[in-house]
Every structure is written in structure tokens, then in C-alpha cells.
Structure 1
């Protein structure tokens, strides 16, 4: 596999980040139209920032995102860009998210740079989320 690097005036980089975040109280509210819209919003924000989405999986109670980002963006900045933007838009478009949750997202998140494991391993992990037996009874993506 050829490594794709990006260049900017100060250097060359190839930064991969695996980010996971959950709705408040880990409520399974990311289904159906909400899940589809969330995916659209995440991709739009990534495009706006010039980040490349490598893998994305919206589960009913959490989100897995693997992306390539620029060296000036910290993991906390990346996570908070997605969480803040998507919360604002989703809560305005889906009023039931306001009535059920005081805030859409939990204040925490998980972030890991993709260097300790291969990109293929992270991609496979995210792509096989729906194959995990303890997730099959949640109604699936289209619920």
C-alpha cells in the first residue's frame, strides 16, 4: 500500500485520527433519518476543513470516525468541531433530540492517532461494527 502524504509550507504529514463519541447517556438516538443526516453533516464539516474521511460508521449509540487531518488541528479540536456543529444542526432539525436529551453529545470522546496500528486495521474495525453480535438487535442503520 502506497502511503499518501500531504504537503504544506512547513512540511509533509500523514496524520490519521480515530475518533469515537456518544450521545448523552449513550441513548440510541442515532437511527434512521437522524443517522443519515449526521453522516451528511460529518462529511460536510470534513470537506469544509479540508480533512479526508477514510471510514465513518454511525451506530445507534455512538459514532466511529477515521479521518486524515492537518497537523495544526489537535484531536480535541477535531472532535469538538464535529460534535458542536452536528449537535447544533441536528437539534434544530429534529426537535425530539431536544426533548429527550439536555445536550446531544456526551462531553467526552475517544481519540487515537493511527500509527500504533495500521490504517487497514482501524478501517476493518470500523467497517465491521454491524457484525458485532451485541449490536444486531438495535434495529440496524435504516431503523
Structure 2
């Protein structure tokens, strides 16, 4: 997810947050995943937020780039089934923002035995 695809996803996520009353605190697009830090009302289940984000962004990407589905995703969806959700209970929002920002920097390869 780079270039105009990343821009489309970023705009879509912001629009989703605005529409559903979520506060998008920080977001970084990586080549193969996203880091999203948002605040939502306690009455909304985190799994519901993930479903909204995944389905709406996938629809937006495929509508904006129709050739993408035919070329790369003809047998599958845009997003994988998995996701990770964490809460900010024991750390500050600032710490989470720093972590997300650091994810954008190049990673060093780890040699495996």
C-alpha cells in the first residue's frame, strides 16, 4: 500500500472515523498493513470498528482502482482475515504515537538460523 492506494486508504479511514464518530489519532500505511490509533465510544465493539474499516476501505480501493482486483485480488479480498487490537490503558497516547511513527522507518533484516 503505497502511493495513490495509500492516499485513498488514508482518506477513506478519516472519512469513516468522521462518519462514525471516532477520533483518528494517528495512522501509518505500511507496504502490507496499517497502524491505526483511534478513540471510539465505549459502546462500540472493537471488532465492529475493524469490520467497518476493512469493508469500506476495500470497497473504496476496488472502486477507485478497478484493475487492481482483476490483477492481484481476483481470488481473494483486499484485507487478510487477521488483525490486532490493543488498548492504551497502561501507556500514554504519546507512547503509542511514537511507536507507530517508528514503524515507518526502514527495518533491519534479522538473520534467522
Q: Do the two structures share a fold, i.e. TM-score over 0.5?
A: yes
Matched residue, 1:39: 10
Partner Cα separation in structure 2 for residue 97 and residue 109 of structure 1: 22
Normalised by the size of structure 2, how large is the TM-score? 0.87
Normalised by the size of structure 1, how large is the TM-score? 0.70
TM-superposed deviation, 1:51: 0.7
Matched residue, 1:10: none
Unaligned runs of 5+ in 2: none
C-alpha distance after superposition, 1:5-31 (max 9, x if no partner): xxxxxxxxxxxxxxxxxxxxxxxxx11
C-alpha distance after superposition, 1:81-117 (max 9, x if no partner): 1001001111121123312122100011100111122
Matched residue, 1:5: none
Is 1:131 the counterpart of 2:102? The answer is: no
Between Structure 1 and Structure 2, which shows a larger proportion of strand residues?
1
TM-superposed deviation, 1:62: 0.5
Matched residue, 1:67: 38
Distance 1:134 1:83, change over 3 A: farther
Answer yes or no: is the 8 Å Cα contact 1:52–1:67 preserved in 2: yes
Matched residue, 1:113: 87
Partner Cα separation in structure 2 for residue 39 and residue 127 of structure 1: 15
Answer yes or no: is the 8 Å Cα contact 1:97–1:104 preserved in 2: no
Unaligned runs of 5+ in 1: 1-29, 136-143
Task: List 4+ stretches of structure 1 deviating above 6 A.
Answer: none
How many residue pairs match? The answer is: 106
Partner Cα separation in structure 2 for residue 94 and residue 116 of structure 1: 40
